[in-house]
Structure 1
């Protein structure tokens, strides 16, 4: 029964009271597991209390604002707990699936337990702290920077909070241990597996917290997917008071087991039960999944599952979600794995930290192979405490996830040489490298000891020589490579060369491409895609190159695209500040063109999909005097060819190249009905097109236009329902700029524009490009009443920020701030006098200047930019006809 109480001491918050009769919540005989997600009061240190439910993070909003940084400190959660008197004599625990990142649990003001690490489960015994009347649970969570707790730095946000489910666990005094690094207390292995015969070993860890010796029976039942018992084992043992006992039982001959695979993820279950030997009363019971499979990685031939070659193609995943931070409800967690399965993927790299238990449960059920890793990212601290915490995290990860058949790899360290310390002291840096190698070897040894049945992996960025020299390619069983040729450095064609180099120089070392990808802001499209323009089109070409290279090389075990979905990275700026846009899905899990591309590559059924899911409202300039605008349209398919129809008329058959067919489509103004056909397969889309006149004197009526200066990309502002076009030089009778050149910043990797965060706007791409030294912008519109908007931002200068370590050829030239003062006149009438963007508004601030114009006598609109000091700039321009 849930009630609410008022807190004393100046607090009006409501705490939930949990009250229950012991036997009414029984899920498994002998134990009760009850959610405690509701009715918490939360406050930051010295902050105001609010009511929250779990999962909860205090960083869901401040990681998205324009202020640098986010709250990293103490958060306090409190909740009342009322237990029935019949609970006395039981063992009572709190189970936390994730608290970031330092946690202390207090019961009635007394410390009951502590935990370090954001990403693994931990259990706290609270029996001796309870008064069984009005008990108070307090969780003190802290996500402060602590040099002894990994991760130290990373390209993701270190959210704080009680962000995964919290449960109350009640057991009998004799129970499966809750004191084994968060494990279930039962470990299942399959020493022998073949299509004809399998064996099973079950190791149970049992605690007796009663005051007397107990005689118990341990029963293990193997049941199939239909719930039918296949085999069972029983053992009678005595367990002394206070003893922790290990019981090992073997199923030696399971004949003709059904094998687990991505195509047929058949799951058995092992139900393990403790009973009183005399009364036969069940004292505790748990159930674990079991999948019969065997696998190997071969340096020459790739990956094999159940003796069959299987090319691994999958994704990595971060756990946060749009608007929620990392406090994601169960249904959305599971949905991610379902989306991966629908994509045709067969592997999930759970990166860069263990994630919600639901993820691996879904992988087991859906047939997704998985790797899991601990959050040693970019750098380490050379301290005993850091080493201890790293080893503890690895232990917890392995023990908690040991029984999942989907897991084939345990990993540790990600790009650990990306940000090497002591760059100016080479002898000291060598000592640092030695410490990294020593820690890697300790993690490797620990992993092989805890679980000899799975592979180990250490993940490196593309600095082959560095990792080889330091020795990190020699330690793990598999090497993972995060490769971004054509994005952070180089060109896409370098990717295949790297794969061949590994195979040549490390011929006996299996490897996986653990990351690859290119940013794809779903709002940005381009017909001239270039590196770092953030267009979906560039990302599509990038993924085609990488998929082809991996698929045609049998020695490449496989690859995982970075990332399943866009995710939060507070330190990033770019076109969508604080978001890494490399996902195949948006952060709200809407598919991008790249997701459809993977379906075309991986689907085992005929597949046909008109892409551009976020681009169903387009705009473009008419082709000369025609009433159409010709633009490319792509279809993803696994068929040889397809035929496209526009408004019922065939545009011809196109052969697929790398699973993409492309047509030049003459769009008309208004709704365009698109249909693609290949055999018996079809797909349809309606594209609403806003046709702009080639010349304003054409028959096409002019309504409004939005133009990005210094840009070759289209931008979709969904919030304001505005479509932005790339600019053009002035054409008589039309529109365009006169004078100047497109802004190119001090960063050599970006071909045009800036990747700075533009403040006071959500439409950063509108302001990240500009025409520098512009003399004039002309629009030869007919007479009428118009609204004109000019957009400015000073892109040079302001606070100097550390460049992202991931941009490997991020060769910044020092920005030279120049004074920029200019006048703006419209049709020879002064509009903006002595405009000084930096002084008047600040650096990287969105500036919008609007006016209304009455155009007469065929004069059109001429916006002049007259320099006083420095070069005038214009970032974007809008024109709307009123009448």
Structure 2
């Protein structure tokens, strides 16, 4: 925790230092930028007014509750704007980094500008609306569904609000244009780059908003990382009113320092407008410059600066725990630092352009990147939808044009996942034709706006349909989102898919743009299976995928889905409203999968006891012994590792796919673990609660929390409880008698339910159950005990649309039957004629607690007596009082 705080503090200091320098530097150079993030008043339509600061979203809480959907509508922001006399005669702009998703900006009650799209920034000129006394800015933001604005549907939440920074920009009437689709008005290319020489072209768009012609000079200077001048050029320009394009070519830069992930060397390009008469700087803009060249090859993969480089990294969503997408600057930059520390060299900015800080960090840290617009799952066949897509693509390219980290522009994601007109094939073909035409327009636009980079269209794993519709032919690179072994099939299908692409699309470079398996950080399993949401299954899944990609040169790279868990309001599952495929939690704590990637990708020796995350374990003793044997893993890039438990060696294990595993005999209480390989060590302390094999054994019984119908462990972090898997009754111990695990109502889940359980944050406790149970017995010694029985009716309730991503998720129609039963404890009635659905509601957590006096060596016997249907029990707890 201390280390994380230090990183965050240092990141904040660096940010504020750079922000101060940027502003003062700009103010000395004829322009002034002032943050407008404070002192806003906000209200939803017809709602109460509250004071807020930017970044802000009105959906940070309602997307996490148990009520379906969230507020998608109008939000109104107002703020006073104080400008003194020095602003008169200047050009004044409001710069918005992100407003979701339709925005209208009013100044003193008059509309100054509008913008469509949540994810690109925009600039509004406001000079003509100002009175320089008591100016008021109003922003009307709306995140309503609009069929003409992408995204229409997606597996992420469409947060509303002014959720990125707002800035006031004041310039001279002669300035670098603020009309170039939200860009800086300056576009830098490197027409020629090699290890020996390079050239740079700077294209400047300059506006003169005054009525007076002006003679100016445009001076561009390139500085190296130490501040030394490398090259410069001055062009004399006579500006009339309006716009002028100025192009400068700086050639023969000798022996450029090349930009790469190992050496992200950045030059700085400073472009000035200078008054020809007074020599004063009128306006000035600084941009990063990285010298690199690259190519994608369909057989040999990706090359940077003439050398092969496997692109391995992750995709990123912009939201953060309890903040929605209104994420502070320092936390956004930290995401890229975490990706770099993982050993990643690529970021897929998905599924939309993100805060400018993200690509700035990629430039600085050496992370290659792709960026895409949010055309996800489906389209609308309207001229307005097409126009909005083309405008978003143009804004994305122009606003991010000068980042050396970007090598790919993308424009569609899984667009055939939810095809319309499934019952009308001729009409569906027309729809497919529209999709192909839109893709072609976006690809043509991209190649025209920026011929120096590659284009990418991203598909899901339905190879045949994308090929038939023609979407594999349009982009320069084909991206595949592949989830074999998760949403469909088995993990081994992944490698077969890669080979099929290489055979049938031999001329197309490929990227694996998504792959992953849910890994709920609270769920562990020693018998991991598909869709149990365990960390252990995700480890195995990622090993298979990494091995397949790294062993195939034609696979240019792979992007894990996702860097961190993210919000998806429509999801239910073990952690409702959260997609758990992240290598980090939504609060950016690393999971074991993150450590696995470090082991695969680290350039230096790496050693990590992955269960360091799982600090509190529990388990049943091995027979009458005083230990419980459980597996423990170490992630490493070393050949072998030796593990010590409480100072005693458990032997040396060779790493298999970067994992060493031991069966560790844990003792009750503290267990000190130390992993050693040569000079490299890692150690941690685990606390273990040993459950007696038989209650008559010497191990003292305290309490036990048992999941019925489950083979996974569940960590309740808030109540500091660990739930363990059930077992059939064993004489002298405890367990169930009769029945079988609940098997769900669709084909993809091997056990349990994926429904949102109402009235609890511990959904996994209630999502499994023993169906048809007859008894549960505890052969405990005499004494006082607290017993809790936990129920939830998992069949029935509101029918909801199945996730489109579950490709073989053929929902069976649920057969809802009456379920009525009695519960008795030690022969005494406890719950009579229990009808969970009628009495409490479907998928609702029910917990019934009682105290029991055990005497005469009879233990505890809970009977479940069927009246109609089959009795169920979801979980059980027992605690000894004394």
Q: Same fold (TM over 0.5)?
A: yes
> Given that residues 28 and 285 in structure 1 are in contact (C-alpha distance below 8 angstroms), is that contact kept between their aligned partners in structure 2?
no
Secondary structure class of the residue paired with 2:442:
helix
Which residue of the partner structure matches residue 323 of structure 2?
A: 324
Distance in 1, matches of 2:28 and 2:833, equals 77
Matches within 5 A, 1:355-370: 355-370=354-369
> Given that residues 28 and 284 in structure 1 are in contact (C-alpha distance below 8 angstroms), is that contact kept between their aligned partners in structure 2?
no
Secondary structure class of the residue paired with 2:249:
strand
Q: 1:557 to 1:469 in 2, by over 3 A?
A: same
> Given that residues 174 and 209 in structure 1 are in contact (C-alpha distance below 8 angstroms), is that contact kept between their aligned partners in structure 2?
yes
Distance in 1, matches of 2:301 and 2:822, equals 65
Q: Deviations over 1:672-697 (max 9, x none)?
A: 00000001000001000000000000
Matches within 5 A, 1:664-813: 664-813=663-812
> Do structure 1's residue 70 and structure 2's residue 70 form an aligned pair?
yes
Shift in Å at residue 281 of structure 1? 1.1
Q: Deviations over 1:593-628 (max 9, x none)?
A: 000000000001000000024311000000000000
Which residue of the partner structure matches residue 33 of structure 1?
A: 33
> Do structure 1's residue 83 and structure 2's residue 80 form an aligned pair?
no
Distance in 1, matches of 2:801 and 2:693, equals 44
Distance in 2, matches of 1:84 and 1:853, equals 77
Matches within 5 A, 1:270-419: 270-419=269-418
Distance in 2, matches of 1:477 and 1:439, equals 16
Which residue of the partner structure matches residue 200 of structure 2?
A: 200
Distance in 2, matches of 1:322 and 1:837, equals 33
Which residue of the partner structure matches residue 3 of structure 2?
A: none
Q: 1:409 to 1:40 in 2, by over 3 A?
A: same
Secondary structure class of the residue paired with 2:549:
helix
Which residue of the partner structure matches residue 256 of structure 2?
A: 257
Distance in 2, matches of 1:275 and 1:701, equals 83
Which residue of the partner structure matches residue 13 of structure 2?
A: none
Secondary structure class of the residue paired with 1:557:
strand
Which residue of the partner structure matches residue 212 of structure 1?
A: 212
> Given that residues 301 and 308 in structure 2 are in contact (C-alpha distance below 8 angstroms), is that contact kept between their aligned partners in structure 1?
yes
Shift in Å at residue 547 of structure 1? 0.1
> Given that residues 523 and 614 in structure 1 are in contact (C-alpha distance below 8 angstroms), is that contact kept between their aligned partners in structure 2?
no
Q: Deviations over 1:76-131 (max 9, x none)?
A: 00000110011100000000000000000000110000000000010000000000
Matches within 5 A, 1:269-668: 269-668=268-667
> Given that residues 612 and 684 in structure 2 are in contact (C-alpha distance below 8 angstroms), is that contact kept between their aligned partners in structure 1?
no
> Given that residues 319 and 566 in structure 2 are in contact (C-alpha distance below 8 angstroms), is that contact kept between their aligned partners in structure 1?
yes
**Unpaired runs of 5+ in structure 1?**
1-22
Q: Deviations over 1:294-318 (max 9, x none)?
A: 0000000000000000000000000
Matches within 5 A, 1:139-178: 139-178=139-178
Q: Deviations over 1:529-584 (max 9, x none)?
A: 00000000000000000000000000000100000000000000000000000000
> Given that residues 59 and 324 in structure 2 are in contact (C-alpha distance below 8 angstroms), is that contact kept between their aligned partners in structure 1?
yes
Distance in 2, matches of 1:518 and 1:810, equals 15
Secondary structure class of the residue paired with 2:589:
coil
Distance in 1, matches of 2:124 and 2:529, equals 53
> Given that residues 607 and 634 in structure 2 are in contact (C-alpha distance below 8 angstroms), is that contact kept between their aligned partners in structure 1?
yes
Shift in Å at residue 24 of structure 1? 8.0
Which residue of the partner structure matches residue 8 of structure 2?
A: none
Distance in 1, matches of 2:354 and 2:534, equals 30
Q: Deviations over 1:769-827 (max 9, x none)?
A: 00000000000000000000000000000000000000000011100001000000000
> Given that residues 372 and 410 in structure 1 are in contact (C-alpha distance below 8 angstroms), is that contact kept between their aligned partners in structure 2?
yes
> Given that residues 564 and 584 in structure 1 are in contact (C-alpha distance below 8 angstroms), is that contact kept between their aligned partners in structure 2?
yes
Shift in Å at residue 28 of structure 1? 4.7
Secondary structure class of the residue paired with 2:664:
strand
Secondary structure class of the residue paired with 1:453:
coil
Distance in 2, matches of 1:673 and 1:396, equals 55
Distance in 2, matches of 1:747 and 1:118, equals 35
> Given that residues 181 and 395 in structure 2 are in contact (C-alpha distance below 8 angstroms), is that contact kept between their aligned partners in structure 1?
yes
Q: 1:781 to 1:136 in 2, by over 3 A?
A: same
Which residue of the partner structure matches residue 132 of structure 2?
A: 132
Distance in 1, matches of 2:853 and 2:83, equals 77
Distance in 2, matches of 1:26 and 1:318, equals 31
Which residue of the partner structure matches residue 17 of structure 2?
A: none
Secondary structure class of the residue paired with 2:689:
strand
Distance in 1, matches of 2:748 and 2:730, equals 31
**Unpaired runs of 5+ in structure 2?**
1-22
> Given that residues 592 and 612 in structure 1 are in contact (C-alpha distance below 8 angstroms), is that contact kept between their aligned partners in structure 2?
no
> Do structure 1's residue 43 and structure 2's residue 39 form an aligned pair?
no
> Do structure 1's residue 94 and structure 2's residue 94 form an aligned pair?
yes
Shift in Å at residue 748 of structure 1? 1.1
Distance in 1, matches of 2:77 and 2:544, equals 49
Q: Deviations over 1:634-662 (max 9, x none)?
A: 00000000000000000000000000000
Which residue of the partner structure matches residue 12 of structure 1?
A: none
> Given that residues 792 and 874 in structure 1 are in contact (C-alpha distance below 8 angstroms), is that contact kept between their aligned partners in structure 2?
yes
Secondary structure class of the residue paired with 1:805:
coil
Shift in Å at residue 443 of structure 1? 0.1
> Given that residues 642 and 661 in structure 1 are in contact (C-alpha distance below 8 angstroms), is that contact kept between their aligned partners in structure 2?
yes
Which residue of the partner structure matches residue 7 of structure 1?
A: none
Secondary structure class of the residue paired with 2:752:
coil
Q: 1:565 to 1:679 in 2, by over 3 A?
A: same
Structure-2-length-normalised TM-score:
0.97
> Given that residues 223 and 268 in structure 2 are in contact (C-alpha distance below 8 angstroms), is that contact kept between their aligned partners in structure 1?
yes
Which stretches of structure 1, 4 residues or more, deviate above 3 A after TM superposition?
Answer: 23-28
> Given that residues 25 and 34 in structure 1 are in contact (C-alpha distance below 8 angstroms), is that contact kept between their aligned partners in structure 2?
no
Distance in 1, matches of 2:634 and 2:381, equals 52
> Given that residues 314 and 346 in structure 2 are in contact (C-alpha distance below 8 angstroms), is that contact kept between their aligned partners in structure 1?
yes
Secondary structure class of the residue paired with 2:611:
coil
Distance in 2, matches of 1:546 and 1:293, equals 29
Distance in 2, matches of 1:881 and 1:658, equals 44
Distance in 1, matches of 2:545 and 2:625, equals 40
Which residue of the partner structure matches residue 3 of structure 1?
A: none
Q: Deviations over 1:344-375 (max 9, x none)?
A: 00000000000000000000000000000000
Aligned residues: 860
> Do structure 1's residue 187 and structure 2's residue 187 form an aligned pair?
yes
Distance in 1, matches of 2:702 and 2:851, equals 15
Q: Deviations over 1:405-443 (max 9, x none)?
A: 000000010000000000000000000000000000000
Distance in 2, matches of 1:25 and 1:541, equals 51
Distance in 2, matches of 1:420 and 1:805, equals 10
Shift in Å at residue 27 of structure 1? 3.8
> Given that residues 592 and 613 in structure 1 are in contact (C-alpha distance below 8 angstroms), is that contact kept between their aligned partners in structure 2?
no
Secondary structure class of the residue paired with 2:555:
coil
> Given that residues 26 and 284 in structure 2 are in contact (C-alpha distance below 8 angstroms), is that contact kept between their aligned partners in structure 1?
no
Which residue of the partner structure matches residue 119 of structure 1?
A: 119
Distance in 2, matches of 1:591 and 1:792, equals 33
> Given that residues 264 and 363 in structure 2 are in contact (C-alpha distance below 8 angstroms), is that contact kept between their aligned partners in structure 1?
yes
> Do structure 1's residue 850 and structure 2's residue 816 form an aligned pair?
no
Distance in 2, matches of 1:419 and 1:613, equals 41
Which residue of the partner structure matches residue 866 of structure 2?
A: 867
Shift in Å at residue 25 of structure 1? 9.0
